[in-house]
A and B are shown apart, each in its own frame.
Chain A
Amino acid sequence: MDLGSHGGFILVAYAFTALVMVALVGNAIRDRRAQLRALKGFGEDRR
């Protein structure tokens, strides 16, 4: 599809949003895994 003469602004806006969302979700998953590892170390495995 043709996004016109300002297509660059639209693409950068969506790319930035995707980047922040991936970082947010990635950080949440990484944090969860760290807590699960720590709980496993105490002999607990609560999900």
Chain B
Amino acid sequence: MTPSLWTRLSNPSHFMRWSGASVPWLTVLSLAVLAVGLYQTFFVVPPDYQQGETVRIMYIHVPAAWLGVFFYGAMSVSAIGSLVWRHPLADVAQRAAAPIGAAFTLICLVTGSLWGKPMWGTYWVWDARLTSMLILLLIYCGIIALWRTLEDPNRAARAVAILTLVGAVNLPIIKFSVNWWSTLHQPASILRMGGSTIDPSMLYPLLIMIGAATLGGTTLHLYAMRTEIMRRRVRTLTIREAERLDRVQPRITPQPSTGLPVGQPV
């Protein structure tokens, strides 16, 4: 991609044009891939030889975990864009991504817990992978709360960008926690040296579900970015309108006192 094309695509007005045209198509594509993935999950994938039917939880748990981490990674890149280049879309992208990433992280934690109970005999253990994912959810909540606390968008953008970059240290911890510490959570089985350990009959439907979730999440992100741009436009127009009203309002000058009590006819 040439720099000029990138600059054009990331210009807010151009962004509104191309994203407006692509969101409906991306929505249809996401739903189609999701339908194929769900069909494969429930009607094609065989039960696991150890876990039985419970393995079907994996087809929502893994895509949710991937998107929880993916959106935080995207927010970290946007945070650099906000701090270094002060790009107007970087802050918009960051703000729009936080609730989506938080929602997928929550899904990951709850579905993992529901998978853990029949397989491990417990809903929760304080192991490194589970705890680092919980910390990710708390960081997301902190970022969303910080945005709501600071009224000035520029101050909020800088504070959130710094907090996001500090929290990014959690991403490699999430990824490598299963290698660094002895955890109840299984080690990496898709992205690992020597290839995936999952049988192709289960791996390909899982990849389809990951693709569907990524497409759907990206579509929702573009939609939320467009809404965020509109919110900023509303804010600018509100401030402009308030300033205009301030200028046209006649100055209220104190009337000379008539010596009568207030409310008495002159």
Q: Which residues of A contact B (CB under 8 A)?
A: 1-4, 6-7, 9-10, 12-14, 16-17, 20-21, 23-25, 27-28, 31-32, 35-36, 38-39, 42, 44, 46-47
Contact = CB atoms under 8 A, between A and B. Distances in A.
A4 B52 contact: yes
Given A28-B224, A44-B237, A47-B20, A14 B60 contact: yes
A13 B109 CA distance: 10
Contacts of B16: 46
20 contacts: A4-B47, A6-B53, A6-B118, A7-B53, A9-B54, A9-B115, A10-B54, A12-B114, A13-B57, A13-B60, A13-B61, A14-B60, A16-B114, A17-B107, A17-B111, A20-B106, A24-B220, A38-B234, A39-B230, A42-B241
B114 A42 contact: no
B103 interface: yes
Interface string B211-237: 000000000100110110011011001
Given A25-B220, A35-B234, A4 B114 contact: no
B64 interface: yes
A6 B52 contact: yes
Which secondary structure characterizes the binding site on chain A? helix
Contact of A39 (B111, B117, B220, B233): B233
B213 to A, nearest CB: 10
Interface residues of B, number: 35
Interface string B71-110: 0000000000000000000000000000110010011001
Contact of A42 (B99, B110, B118, B237): B237
A3 B223 CA distance: 36
A16 B128 CA distance: 24
A31 B118 contact: no
A20 B224 CA distance: 16
Closest 9 CB pairs of A and B: A35-B230, A4-B53, A6-B118, A38-B234, A13-B111, A13-B114, A42-B237, A32-B227, A9-B114
A36 B226 CA distance: 11
Contacts of A25: 220
Contacts of B223: 28, 32
Contacts of A7: 53
